[in-house]
Amino acid sequence: MKKNRVSNPEVKKINRNQIYRYVNKYEKVSKPDIASTLGISMPTVLQNIKELTERGLICEVGAFESTGGRKARVIAPIYDARYAIGIDITQNHVGFVLTDLSGSVLMHTREYKPFTNERKYFMNLGELAIKFLTSANIPEDRFLGFGISIPGIVSSENAKITFSHALGITDVPYTVFSQNIPNHCIFTNDANAAIIAEMYSIQERYTTVYLSLSNSVGGAIFMEKSNGLKGNQVIDNLYFGDNCRSGEFGHMTLIPGDRKCYCGKVGCVDAYCSAKILAKLTDGKLERFFKELADGNEEFTRIWEDYLSNLIIVVNNLRMAFDCQVIIGGYVGSFIEPYISHLHEKAALLNTFENNAIYIKPCRYKIEASALGAALRHIEGFISTI
């Protein structure tokens, strides 16, 4: 009777993929280390190292210090084996990020380019994408494609942007945005893209809620399902909801019957926690608001305290609903780090179950998180095929 052993191509692929992800994640590893950590036999490790080396994805880079016996060779990833570019489209700007298999930001630019739903805009978008790709100067066969981040509801099922208040569009097919871009494009909602970037950069992933405080308030929900080494992509762990409208925290009601929200309802979180609430005091320049706040501007200090008093209600509600860490991201998130202890103190007062609020974390990516996350869809897609 024949036994169904490692000849099974699926098992071979899972082993190869796990080994590659391990090398990619820890950067410098030895063959015995791979075998013992992943519980894979040494002959299988050696066979896969050979295959991955032949495919130009990993290489040997010297030896570890000897611990008595023969020195173990150092196996390292070849990060520049593949590249992807992320494009972040917002109401007034377009941001570009170049990344590779390391998932780090290698190059980025941001241009002032107000969105218009016109042929001219999309032609220009294509020109800018090609210009950025050319300036990246990467081999054509190593380029995976463009990831595009959109501030709106992105329906992958229907391949269209169902709705975007920021861009003022409804039911626009992906192809309208990608018509002048020569490479494969993947579309992602901006907050989902940002949480992909955040989750990609950490060693251990936990269930996380991302609260995006930009010119509108949104968010994303990452549900941890594995230890991150099992081959699933970040996108597989995002919760989208029945209509791709999960994480729309901006339209939870904060103060009934009070301020009007752009959505037409009254009292939504967006009317109190959008970055515009602060930026409008400094002609739309949020950086200037935080500069003057740091310099002790009394009026701004009072407004900031009011802002935080509203923000802690939202964050505490998220904690009560999801019982996980909450990352503060978006435009305000990129300035929150110096105020995080103060935010912890204030939010702790509302916390029913703990006497602290250290579950609130500042975002890691201060710039271009959404562009990076959009590009990482390609990188993760490629890695899953290894």
Binding mask 210-249 for Zn ion (x = CB under 5 A): ----------------------------------------
Candidate segments 124-132, 200-208, 259-267, 364-372, binder of Zn ion by CB under 5 A: 259-267
Binding mask 172-211 for Zn ion (x = CB under 5 A): ----------------------------------------
Applying CB under 5 A, among 23, 261, 369, 372 the residue interacting with Zn ion is: 261
Applying CB under 5 A, among 21, 108, 251, 319 the residue interacting with Zn ion is: 251
Applying CB under 5 A, among 23, 153, 220, 268 the residue interacting with Zn ion is: 268
Nearest approach in angstroms of CB 251 to Zn ion is 4
Of the chain, the end-to-end C-alpha distance in Å amounts to: 32
Contact 309, 346 (CB under 8 A): yes
**If binding is defined by CB under 5 A, does position 346 make contact with Zn ion?**
no
Cα 378 to chain centroid, rounded = 12
Candidate segments 80-88, 139-147, 265-273, 304-312, binder of Zn ion by CB under 5 A: 265-273
Q: Which two tokens stand for residue 14?
A: 């899972």
Contact 220, 195 (CB under 8 A): yes
Nearest CB to Zn ion, comparing residues 25 and 265? 265
Contact 190, 365 (CB under 8 A): no
Mode of pairing for the β-strands spanning 208-213 and 325-329:
parallel
Q: How far apart are CA 18 and CA 40, in angstroms?
A: 10
**If binding is defined by CB under 5 A, does position 379 make contact with Zn ion?**
no
**If binding is defined by CB under 5 A, does position 277 make contact with Zn ion?**
no
Candidate segments 86-94, 131-139, 198-206, 254-262, binder of Zn ion by CB under 5 A: 254-262
Candidate segments 105-113, 124-132, 214-222, 255-263, binder of Zn ion by CB under 5 A: 255-263
**If binding is defined by CB under 5 A, does position 263 make contact with Zn ion?**
yes
Provide the binding-site residues for Zn ion, judged by CB under 5 A.
251, 261, 263, 265, 268
